[in-house]
Structure 1
């Protein structure tokens, strides 16, 4: 090869070397820029606050067996029982301060099957006192599951206090001879405005009622003499401090229409109720309550405008007898409160002859004994009596032409309840009642001449099984 060619080759190699060195420099510059961008992103991520981490085994939403979360909010009356070990609780935890939940929902209830045998006449799916009419020797058997119940509770801890809700229903629509349609029992909400004051609204037990008086019965109704119109739409304000509670409420006018009113009865103001309750040491309980209501006819609906006040008072006591038995009692008395006392008629009637509203005196008495034989077995005995003024009822039937009105009713329940496990309860019960009612009196010619009374009784046996879910 000539020296000229050798020179050309060397020049070409130098040129390639220079070009290669320039390309590597460009690649290094690009890599350096990318590394600087990644480092900036890392710095930004490190500057952010660390996301909260869940403890081992925890989650934002939890499901657990039992309803202990709302067990301290007791909305049941005597005899209504759903064990806190049944049902399920759904808990929603906050985004910090784990593991305390801020919202909990509990779902529970039971399936109940009943077998009923009437010795005298068919009184329906519950012991219907108003159906007792002397039809003897009409034995009848019934099986049903209408008392099956579903219950949803919730509680939420908020910045303005705890808020609680209750929705409950069953299939006892239309009374003893009704249908199996779903019906609302409770739709109630409460707000703890302060540590001592609670506001509530919706439908639940009337504030006039004693929530602790009564016994567990297999029969859905239970004994006469207690508050019968027990669930009412209302707004309520309650003050509570330790074992003491005082509550006032404005409630939907319960039975403020008249026995007969010629179509001009009008509920123009709510019923007002007040209740004082004290839970004493040793398991003793005391209660005083009252109700004030108004009966009204409106001239715009026909006739004249009239008003008449009705009132009632109640005293109730539960006495713990050495942890072996509980004595539970209540006495109710008033004028014009018929619809509140179980077994009473409407509390007033319209006298078309005088144009006046006449109230009817009423009284209810109940006494019961609860014997805790073992941890799984109890014996329950209950007696009740509801009395309305005989003279008032006879006048009401004669003036209005509405007979078959209860003058007085006496009832008794006796049962054995066995609960071998929390999810199952069985009960065997015998019940009896005597009813006196108004009847028309005719002369030999068949002319209506007066209003009188007739007394009949009835006997029933019942078995019930509760299956809690």
Structure 2
């Protein structure tokens, strides 16, 4: 900035400089300094201006390294509890390291006569990729891509049927089971109610799991009330969906109605201590409960819970599913914090038809975070995962995870 100012002053000291008074020169220098200061403030608060427009762009995200040791069996890059292998009854420790959770985010804001237009595009590296022999390449995938104007949101982001109020922080990418965790394309409208409350409705992309030849004939519909204040917050949400199949085995009723109810809340016991809890219940709610989705297989080899199945009469029958989680977080010092969270999922699918589908999932996370500097955080987590099948088989795993995250 000083170099720019010096060049400008040098230009002013050309042949006409002797004709100007010292006062006039000082006035021009002061004006130029104010302009440069204003540009710096604008860049810091609003981002970089796109040339020829009034659109400001900001770039953010983080780089994260995860180092993982599984004591019992390899569970991959995240603690996906539904993926536990119940056929493996031996202890097979494994270690791996990756940077797939690293992400990049671009945001824009544009003032218009209709209001401020905002857009967000974010991606991470949990897409497909190469091998670990020499490149460890990973594909960039879309997490969020949406625009906003006056309470209207259009694009892909977190579902409106999701519990932000009671979602604990974990070192693991996934976090505890039993929470609502889903991103998809949607059209949403949020109406502020005042006093920290709002009401939102959405029409979202439908997708059905658990049986062959499913057909999505209508969007999933959601509605949510949310309040947040200094004492904590609460969310209550509802989901309605249409399930349909074109399978030849569905000789009876080939469509069904699915629904879900979500309640979540958090309470700030002190400035440093917070407790939170959430619960989800539904019939045909399926994939909206994290880890409860299923492969599209109506045979006895089907895994997961899914949303529905075709019964012996050829009718499409929905499946009840439940999810719950509780957590507590403690800020020990300005730099060090810890959290303990527990999650559980249960499904009510017929055990005689699907003996290999899981009946319950559980996970526990003991998470610790140390902020080395504002943009640098270290994480250490001990977690436990347990899976029980309808046929009585089970599997579990204990994981130790170390992470380093660099925000930008």
Tell me if both proteins adopt one fold, taking TM over 0.5 as the criterion: yes
Name stretches of at least 5 consecutive residues in structure 1 with no aligned partner. Answer: 1-52, 70-88, 96-101, 193-197, 398-402, 439-451
**Is 1:459 paired with 2:405?**
no
In the TM superposition, residue 166 of structure 1 has moved relative to its aligned partner by 0.5
Q: CA RMSD in A?
A: 2.8
**Structure-2 change in CA distance of 1:59 and 1:159 (3 Å):** farther
Q: Name the residue aligned to 1:366.
A: 325
Residues 428/245 of structure 1: CA separation in 2 closer, same or farther (3 Å cut): same
Q: How does 1:48-447 map to 2 (within 5 A)?
A: 56-58=33-35, 62=39, 69=46, 89-91=47-49, 102-134=54-86, 135=88, 136-173=90-127, 180-192=138-150, 198-228=151-181, 230-242=182-194, 243-254=196-207, 256-257=208-209, 259-261=210-212, 263=213, 265-280=214-229, 282-298=230-246, 306-346=254-294, 347-351=306-310, 353-389=312-348, 392-397=349-354, 404-438=356-390
Q: Structure 1 CA distance, aligned partners of 2:247 and 2:341?
A: 46
Higher relative contact order (CA 8 A, sep 6+): 2
Q: 1:294 touches 1:310 (CA, 8 Å); kept in 2? A: yes
Change over 3 Å in CA distance of 1:374–1:269 after alignment to 2: same
Q: SS at 2:371's partner residue?
A: strand
The answer as to whether partners of 1:251 and 1:272 remain within 8 angstroms in 2 is yes
Tell me if the contact between 1:63 and 1:91 (Cα under 8 Å) persists in the aligned partners. Answer: no
Q: Is the 8 A contact 2:165 2:235 kept in 1?
A: no
Between Structure 1 and Structure 2, whose CA radius of gyration is higher? 1
Task: Sort the Cα spacing of 1:218 and 1:299 in 2 relative to 1 into closer, same or farther, 3 A.
Answer: closer
> Could you tell me how far 1:293 is from its partner in structure 2?
0.6
CA distance in 2, matches of 1:284, 1:350: 40
1:467: how far off?
1.0
1:143 positional shift: 0.7
Q: Secondary structure at the match of 1:56?
A: helix
CA 421–147 in structure 1, closer or farther in 2 if over 3 Å, else same: same
Q: Are the structure 2 counterparts of residues 130 and 157 from structure 1 closer, same or farther at C-alpha, using a change threshold of 3 Å?
A: same
Compute the displacement of 1:59 (Å). Answer: 6.1
Deviation at 1:349, TM superposition (A): 3.2
Q: 8 Å contact 1:60–1:94 — kept in the other structure?
A: no
Contact in 2 for aligned 1:297/1:304 (Cα 8 Å): no
